Amino acid sequence: MNIIIVKNAVEGGHEGYKLFAEAKKNGAHVFGLATGSTPITTYQEIVASDLDFSDSISINLDEYVGLAADNEQSYNYFMHKNLFNQKPFKQSYLPNGLAEDLEAEAKRYDKIIADNPIDLQILGIGRNGHIGFNEPGTPQDSKTHRVALTQSTIDANARFFEHEEDVPKEALSMGLASIMQSKHILLEAYGEDKADAIKGMIEGPNTPDLPASILQGHGNVTVILDEAAASKLTNK
């Protein structure tokens, strides 16, 4: 893994933006996108830049089950607010968390990923090492699937909701195998509460117990960390 340590999320956002710009220059056409607070500084730099995605495709990692696209807490809403409204893509895909048949929706999403191989995938990481919504224990050969969120993820997400009972308990997520198919993966992490997950991801064993550790088996991963997220690494 290529590890870049920066001072803060703003600097990290700039480094992340540079990877998007370089990928575009090299002909990348399909971008895998993530939500959460982590990628926001990268999206801000992209929005402020002259990069043009009107010929590109985006495929998001995940979506909550049960939230409509116009619900302010949905990932669909997040993506429009933080990126798509300012930088429209030719086509943007997100899982439909309102689909009546979630298994069929997962299959539909896998076909979209298979038809549009992802050139650059941006990721954040959960405190328990999840990527997308692939919680600990998720099989490493998983494709898009329905997920029961762990209590720690529900608690972490509660900060975005007015009432705790409004936090969705389920999601649809791209699987670990789908993420591993991306040609280049960029994972960003900021803050001390990510330090344990980052240590496990980079220095621990490759194990389903810490989903992000699967990235050790990918040949083209860039990790952008601030000093706090990197603070538990033995070998900097």
Ligand X SMILES: N[C@@H]1[C@@H](O)[C@H](O)[C@@H](COP(=O)(O)O)O[C@@H]1O
Question: Catalytic residue positions?
Answer: 62, 128, 130, 135
- Least distance from C-beta 64 to ligand X, angstroms? 9
Q: Which is nearer to ligand X, 30 or 33 (CB)?
A: 33
Residues 6+ apart with CB under 8 A from 49: 17, 21
| Residue 153 makes contact with ligand X by CB under 6 A | yes
Q: Yes or no: say if 182 and 32 are a contact pair by the CB < 8 Å rule.
A: yes
User: Which residues have a Cβ under 8 Å from the Cβ of 27 and sit 6 or more positions away?
Assistant: none
For ligand X, the closer CB: 61 or 106: 61
Answer for the pair 39, 122: CB distance below 8 angstroms, yes or no.
Answer: yes
Tokens 């601030």 belong to residue: 226
Write the interaction track for ligand X spanning residues 121-150; mark x where CB under 6 A is met and - where it is not: ---xxx-----xx-----------------
62 part of the interface to ligand X, by CB under 6 A: yes
Taking the complex as a whole, the smallest distance from the CB of residue 123 to ligand X amounts, in Å, to 6
Listed in sequence order, the residues at least 6 apart from 41 whose beta carbon sits closer than 8 Å to its beta carbon are 9, 10, 12, 13, 14, 16
Classified as helix, coil or strand, 52 is coil
By CB under 6 A, the count of residues binding ligand X is 13
Q: Is 33 helix (H, G, I), strand (E, B) or coil?
A: strand
Query: Applying CB under 6 A, does 224 fall inside the site for ligand X?
Result: no
- Name the one range near ligand X by CB under 6 A: 29-37, 84-92, 214-222, 225-233: 29-37
* 59 contributes a contact to ligand X by CB under 6 A: no
Question: Footprint of ligand X on this chain (CB under 6 A)?
Answer: 34-38, 61-62, 124-126, 132-133, 153
